[in-house]
Structure 1
Amino acid sequence: MFEQTEASAIASERRWRFKVHGLDCQNEVRLLREALIPLVGDERFLSFQPKHGLLDVDIESGIGVEAIIAAISATGMSAALKATGSFAEDEADVGGCSGCSGEPEPVELAFADRPNGSIFKIHGMDCGDEVAVLKREVGPVVGLENLSFDLINGRMSVAGSSAAAQHAGILKAVERTGMRAELWQEGGGSAGALAEQRRRRVQAGLTITSGAMVLVGFAIHARANGFAAVLHESLAREAHPPLLAMLAYSLAILSAVRYVAPKAILAARRLRPDMNLLMLVAVAGALGIGQWFEAATVAFFFALALALEAWSLGRARRAVAALMEIAPDSARIRDVAGIEKDVPVAEVAVGAHVIVPPGGKIPLDGRVVAGTSAVNQAPITGESVPVTVAQDTVVYAGTINGMGALEIVTTRPASDTTLARIVRMVGEAQSKRAPTEQWVERFARIYTPVVMALSLAVFLVPPLLLGGGWAAWFYQALVLLVIACPCALVISTPVSIVAGLTGAARRGVLIKGGIHLETPARITAIAMDKTGTLTLGRPKVVELVPLGGRGEIELLALAAAIEARSEHPIAHAILDAATERGVDVVPAKSVTALPGQGVVGAIDGREVWVGSPGYLGERLGGSSDDELAAQLQRIAGAGLTGIVVGEAQSVIGLIAIGDAVRPEATQIVAQLHKLGIAQVVMLTGDSRAPAQAIAHETGVDEVYAELLPEQKVEAIERLVAQHGLVAMVGDGVNDAPAMARASLGIAMGAIGSDAAIETADIALMQDDLSQLPWLIRHSRATLTVIRQNIGFSLAVKLVFGGLTLLGMASLWGAIAADVGASLLVVLNGLRLIDRDQRAR
């Protein structure tokens, strides 16, 4: 970090640097460009770092700090001037997405980005409503910008070196919410974790008790007063329940509100009405007018709705935890003395030799040093076909060995395996909320107090202005409170987002946040790198051109014999082609490599050579052959590399070598077009001829060739200007700038590549381009489910709200509708976990 004042730092860099709260994706960059370019006059004066939430404005623009901050505020974001510092300093400022909605919200850091912080396990944190309560209570203690939440794992992270000194205050603040906190410990054996398990059992038991007591009270009540009276056909009858029924109803209510009342009381004290307070008011109101059955039923069904929400989140947690459980707990290691023993995987050091028996699970990431086998990598990559592994092949924890024994050298500790990183990132991804999820949260934040005000109006207006009965309209106001409870609406989106993220992870698609789960559904153009994306990234024999009456098999056999001992990639391509065609390769003798020219060897006493076109002139003494020259020119024009095979002073034939196009690439591009992607573009640093040839073969619409990384960024910017949301698909390393500039960065074959996982918004953990159209379909399915849930929840509330205003709704009917809606949206959302597993 620079040791200088803010003013000197800024002056030395000749730019203003702003920390922009809410800037963390390309949608916000677009908003800021639209607001600032008219102000500064030229886009070149602006520079964005959305990953770090930073905006740089050149002083040459002549615009003052106040004007810039005002323009940023107009977008819904907020900004503060800061000194330019080191990259490490800016890295600590990374903010979680506040959404693409434009509402200023506190920046939430991802767990992996928190320096000198503390992580707490929060017992009782099962939904977004509880997260909001924690923000209100803990935020003033530590600073709202220092908080982040991992709902899947029930964790709260507090950034800053002073976090440890604030532990007591943090714990007390959490206790005020009715929840409990403890420092996070890996594993589930802590005293707090055991206490949480007991709490869940108690909560489930109290919910069951509440339901049972409602039935008991109803039976006693109905026997004494009749079913019609219990179901509230007429308020005038005042069919009060017997004492035993009232006792049963009281037990039902007390059991149900045990974990609701503390949160409701806190909401009332803070003057921030929420669902808990709304339900408690409805229960108290029903008791106030003597409707014991309705009061007990409201309490029980609300407790049941909370249990459903906890269960749905618990299922998502178990689905993610199941990923981790696929790795064995112990590993068989061989020490330097050659003695084998089983030890816990947590104790296995990097570099240890691990023995994996046939049929066993690979316990840690590593590299094969002995043995050959087929490994089922489906638990990590989703690839259903076992992959053949041999010496020097990389293998991953949790994958399943076939029939051959393997010895591997570990390359990562248990806490940092590919599997462990996937689990951590899925958990952290949930805290980066999707735009729809943020909209629902903001809607519910306004909706709840509005509903309470409307209920009060329903109670007061008809009796005062229309002469209605107070008791009847008070009852209708309670009905409106119950049916308007936003339980189903609030839980519909987070359940669907968590299920969508988990389902994608099980498929081998790592999506780093709800915002990135929604974006693929909206993209209109896709840019792809060539090498390693549309192609396999390795040479392949594309064409054999025998000359002088020779055959293709003879040409391939002679070339393979010369190249049999070579490690050059072109040699591997020739040998692979020989193997595919069943050629029996006998290595040549007296093989001599001519650096930069070719290879010469002896086959059955004949001198055979394989070389470049440049070596041809030297070999033949400058003599020309029109047919040979034409063939070489044709091969070069197709963007391929021509290899010449000869014997003594004559040419046997030519071998055309090119980057192997992925077999599925043409079909995938066609699928993308069918999915409504208007433009599929290739961005490559390769020369134009091979790029055009591959584009023609695969059906790519447009080609940008011979590009430097910064030119790829410029190409992406043009595509964004033309099409709006654009995805960039690449290898995550040399394509990183373009991936960062695109609306969505997708890394191909990210397994084993830290850079790819860090750079991309989405990582396709296996080297499979077919995951791209699947990702778009999955994103659209998730949005469809979310819309279904929101539409259904609002429709139920509108229907019953109208019936309430007409005086035609009953309290128990409202209860059934609300709980039924909550159950249906939960089950609908959870379909996303297994939807594509069933479809495969």
Structure 2
Amino acid sequence: MDLHRHDHDHDHDHDHSHSHGAHRHQGGGCGCHHTGQDASAVVDQQSAQIQGRYQYLLHIPALDCANEEAQIRHGLTDMAGVQRLQFDTPAGRLRVHASEDVLAQVLEQLKRMGLPGKPLAESTAQPAAATRSAWAGLPKLLLALTAAATSELVHWFEWGPSWLAAAFALVAIVLSGLSTYRKGWQALRYGNLSINGLMSIAVTGAVLIGQWPEAAMVMTLYVLGEWIEARTLASARSAIGKLVALVPEMAECQDALGQWQSVPVKNVEAGQTLRVKPGQRIPLDGDISKGQGSVNQAAITGESEPVAVAEGDPVLAGALNGESTLQIRVSRTADDTLLAKILRRVEEAQHSQAPTQTLIERFSRIYTPAVAALAVVMALLPPLLGWGSWLEWCYRALVLLVIACPCALVISTPVTLMSGITRAARMGVMVKGGRYLEDARHLQQLALDKTGTITAGQPEVQQLDILSERYSEAQIHRWAWQMASASSHPVSQAITTALSPAGSGAHAEVTQLSGQGLQSQLEDEQGQPVSLYLVKPQFAQQRGLLSVQQQQQVEQYYADGCSVSLLITDHEALLLCSVRDPLKPGSADAIRQLHELGITTLMLTGDNARVAAAIAEQAGVRQVEADCLPDDKWQRIKALAQQAPIGMVGDGINDAPALAEAQVGFAMGKGGTDIAVETADVALMDDDLRKLPRFIRLSRFTFRVLQQNLVLAIGIKLLFVVLAALGMTSLWMAVFADVGASLLVIANGLRVLRYPS
């Protein structure tokens, strides 16, 4: 048995994936990775301890309906050591939060319930065998169908004695229904009215009232429907498999002697050099160290055209190399690549529940017992009142029992949302849960940060003005470089690039001044400590450090659409930097599309009002609020949320509070900070704002499909409840309708996977 456990005492998940025996990890990351061809190989082999709990990820092939989920809850919730259960029903997965020593008991209990499971690494080690075993049951099922049809024909055309029809029916029931009876009995033992239990009661009841051919047809049609449903769901379960298949298992890696060796991708460390030939997939995230050409990153970021790359440019794992050989210095190991994060988020999203899904599950817990109780009343009350025979009303009650299972209703929501999340991932949009996919359709307002969101986030220094004669120009430039190089802010990076010839010494240890800039203490040429600030002009103005002439100079740069940063001491201004950040090519188009969708836009930026207004005019943003500190953005989002649902788009640390406060937070996944990406609910993988309106359209389309599924499922159920009460339907028609409704909602939900990008 493959058991994966992680003994970390952290409050977050680690993605450690393995394809071999039991592993135990202590402290930090293990550095082991897996990049197999099966989707589950990366996203499924995860278990971790969170706040003293262990997680065990199990694969339960029979888990594809809310009734099996309820049965498992009944059987495991009260088990000693089990603390929490997380279900991914469409994927047949269960995550058990439990004590370290209860896995064996959990597996044994699942087996007793007729729902055997395995630790996922073991169950996915032989996917081909699982496929063969699924097809292996088809001949037996076809034989059962033949026997059931023969029983119906013998009965209908009176081709023989009644016992002959009963004999063929019994053969059909035994061939197809033993598993259903076993699972149904286990469910009833736990007080759960599962579909297997209901079908078992209906078939047994039909036999007891002498309806042998119909009992056989009900059982075989039900099992056939389950088989078809499982095959249909398989396409949803493997929807992200194409993403995983993008990553090769082996990579050409340069060893210490400069020789190229083929090694498993999971063993490659950051800093090593890989060689990728034309037409090959890039194994890991990194930067081009030698060569130039183009790479196709469409499967990861959704970019429709290949991207030209040269030395120093970043590339992503899974991207397809174009026409030339590239050497790549690895920046992220296998479990930390952008693609691995997408897969991890998709898995986590599938475990989360959207509001509609929660509501439907609550409804189903009331619906099934209510219909079952109505069936009992139908079987007893009319005959007692003399409205018909016991046989007639018992038959109608059995039909109603078949209709009582809400599988189609419950499965309609997760399969649709899972398809939407997977489609978004293929578009280059990472969604952290079905809730956010559903909530995005409600958005009426969207606030956007400026730098790195609306603008390219790659500003260039336009002018460097020395303002003091106390220190040499070289000294001032070196200080500015030391401080700017310690920050990841785009403006700081632009200053670092502009001053790189003057750069020397270690990066400064800086303190963030919330929304204002950086503070540090460095030494001058005589070794004396100097308190320095790389800040916005407002900070210097508040301290009275700018002359009238210098303030006019700042205003002129603002009028030209430039941002301004100042290097100052406690006593004087040393350096004035003017920086221009151009608009992203797709920003204006994205804002226009958002307006067409009826969404109002607002720019929230810490930049100067005149610079912000100039950028907003170019982009088409209708409202601007400038000079915003992080708390100002948070307060503004909080206030606007009282008026209408609002989303926030940002990329920096200072955007994190506002991203968390918004109903849906969007982060720039490619150029954004890790804090922004972690805080946000949705990440745009290639930082193209045009993905925002596409995602909102996908959200609205997904909800329309979800509504269609609910109408289909509820409508078919209600229709057959009425027909059963009027005696206008039969048992086999009811089971055909139940299975057919499930297949319809699954097929309709899978349409979301084909939504045009």
Task: Determine if the TM-score, normalized by the shorter chain, exceeds 0.5.
Answer: yes
Question: One-letter code of the match for 1:156?
Answer: L
Q: Please say if 1:522 is aligned against 2:442.
A: yes
Matched, 1:139 2:60: no
Any idea what SS the aligned residue of 1:147 has? strand
Code of the residue aligned with 1:499 in structure 2: it is S
Cα 1:481/1:372, change in 2 over 3 Å: same
- Cα offset for 1:253? 2.1
Q: What secondary structure is seen at the aligned counterpart in 2 of 1:185?
A: helix
Change (3 A) 1:220 1:347: farther
CA contact (8 A) 2:378 2:394 kept: yes
Deviation at 1:633, TM superposition (A): 6.3
Q: Deviations over 1:14-42 (max 9, x none)?
A: xxxxxxxxxxxxxxxxxxxxxxxxxxxxx
- Alignment-derived partner of residue 568 in structure 2: none
3-state SS, counterpart of residue 659 of structure 2: helix
Native 8 Å contact 1:666 1:697 kept in 2: yes
Counterpart in 2 of 1:71? none
Q: Where does residue 200 of structure 1 map in the other structure?
A: 134
Assess if the C-alpha contact under 8 Å between 1:379 and 1:399 holds in 2: yes
Match of 2:94 in 1: 156
Supply the distance in 2 between the matched residues of 1:89 and 1:204 (Cα, whole angstroms): 47
Q: 1:497 to 1:687 in 2, by over 3 A?
A: same
Q: 1:619-646 CA distances to partner (integer Å, 9 max, x unpaired)?
A: xxxxxxxxxx999966633533699xxx
Choose which of 623, 635, 643 in structure 2 pairs with 1:702.
Answer: 623
Give the Cα–Cα distance (whole angstroms) in 2 for the partners of residues 810 and 569 of structure 1: 70
Check if 1:174 corresponds to 2:110: yes
Structure with greater contact order relative to length (CA < 8 Å, sep ≥ 6):
2
What's the secondary structure of 1:661's corresponding residue? Answer: coil
Going from structure 1 to structure 2, the CA distance change for 1:209 and 1:525 (only over 3 Å counts) comes to farther
Residue 400 in structure 1 maps to residue 320 in structure 2: yes
The 5 A counterparts of 1:214-229 are 214-224=148-158
- Residue pair 1:455, 1:477 contacting (<8 A) in 2 also: yes
Letter in 2 for 1:688: A
Structure 2 residue ranges without an equivalent (≥5): 1-7, 14-45, 463-484, 496-500, 504-536, 538-550, 566-576
Q: 1:353 to 1:384 in 2, by over 3 A?
A: same
Counterpart of 2:746 (choices 802, 817, 826) is: 826
- Alignment deviations for residues 21-76 of structure 1 (CA, whole Å, 9 cap, x no partner): xxxxxxxxxxxxxxxxxxxxxxxxxxxxxxxxxxxxxxxxxxxxxxxxxxxxxxxx
Change in CA separation of 1:255 and 1:686 when aligned onto 2, cut-off 3 Å: farther
Aligned to 2:601: 680
Structure 1 distance, partners of 2:122, 2:731, is 46
Other-structure match for 2:60: 123
- Deviation of residue 374 (structure 1)? 0.3
Counterparts of 1:699 and 1:821, CA distance in 2:
47
The answer to whether the 8 A contact 1:221-1:242 is kept is: no
* Structure 2: distance between partners of 1:455 and 1:119: 40
| Aligned-pair CA distance for 1:466 | 3.8
Shift of 1:273: 1.5
Determine the structure 1 residue equivalent to 2:514.
none
Task: Indicate yes or no: 2:342 matched with 1:422.
Answer: yes
Shift of residue 332, structure 1, vs aligned partner: 1.5
Looking at structure 1, the residues matched to 82 and 436 of structure 2 have their Cα atoms a distance apart, in angstroms, of 24
Question: Which residue identity is paired with 2:751?
Answer: R
Specify which of 680, 685, 697 is matched with residue 760 of structure 1: 680
**Aligned residue identity for 1:274:** S
Unmatched 5+ residue regions in structure 1?
A: 1-86, 93-109, 226-238, 543-566, 575-590, 594-613, 615-628, 644-654
* Aligned AA (1:761): D
- Alpha-carbon shift at residue 195 of structure 1 (Å): 7.0
**Is 1:319–2:256 an aligned residue pair?**
no
Amino acid at match of 1:137: G
- Provide the secondary structure at the position in 2 that maps to 1:785: helix
Q: Distance in 1 between matches of 2:387 and 2:316?
A: 75
TM-score under structure 1 normalisation?
Answer: 0.69
Q: Does 1:637 align with 2:559?
A: yes
- Partners of 1:257 and 1:416 in 2: how far apart? 47
> Structure 1 residues 510 and 592 mapped into 2: Cα distance closer, same or farther (>3 Å)?
closer
- In the alignment, what sits opposite 1:463? 383
1:545 paired residue number: none
1:189 aligns with 2:125: yes
Q: Kindly provide the CA deviation profile for residues 494-525 of structure 1, in whole angstroms up to 9, marking residues without a partner as x.
A: 21111111111111111111111101011221
SS class of match (1:398): coil
Give the Cα separation in 2 of the matches to 1:698 and 1:132. 51
Deviation digits for residues 160-185 of structure 1 (CA, Å, limit 9, x no counterpart): 5x32x222321222212212233342
The equivalent residue for 2:266 is 346
Counterparts of 2:672 and 2:642, CA distance in 1: 34
Count of residue correspondences: 632
Distance 1:176 1:306, change over 3 A: same
**Shift in CA distance, 682/755, structure 1 to aligned 2, threshold 3 Å:** same
Per-residue CA deviation, residues 341-393 of structure 1 (Å, 9 max, x unaligned), is 32232333333321101121111222211111100001111111111112222
Show the 5 A alignment for 1:552-563: none
**AA at the equivalent of 2:318:** G
Which amino acid in 2 is paired with 1:170? V
For residue 291 of structure 1, what is the aligned residue in structure 2?
211
State the alpha-carbon separation in 1 of the partners of residues 361 and 657 from structure 2. Answer: 33
Question: Which has the greater radius of gyration?
Answer: 1
Q: CA RMSD, aligned part only?
A: 3.5
For the residues of structure 2 that align with 1:297 and 1:377, how far apart are their CA atoms?
52
Q: 2:587 — aligned with what?
A: 665
Percent identical among aligned pairs is 42
Task: Give 1:473-492 correspondences, 5 Å limit.
Answer: 473-492=393-412
Does the CA contact (< 8 Å) of 1:312 and 1:830 recur in 2? no
Instruction: After superposition, give the CA deviation of every residue in 1:764-794 in whole Å (9 maximum; x if it has no partner).
Output: 1111111111111111111111111111111
Counterpart in 1 of 2:307? 387
* Distance in 1 (alpha carbons) for counterparts of 2:427 and 2:689: 13
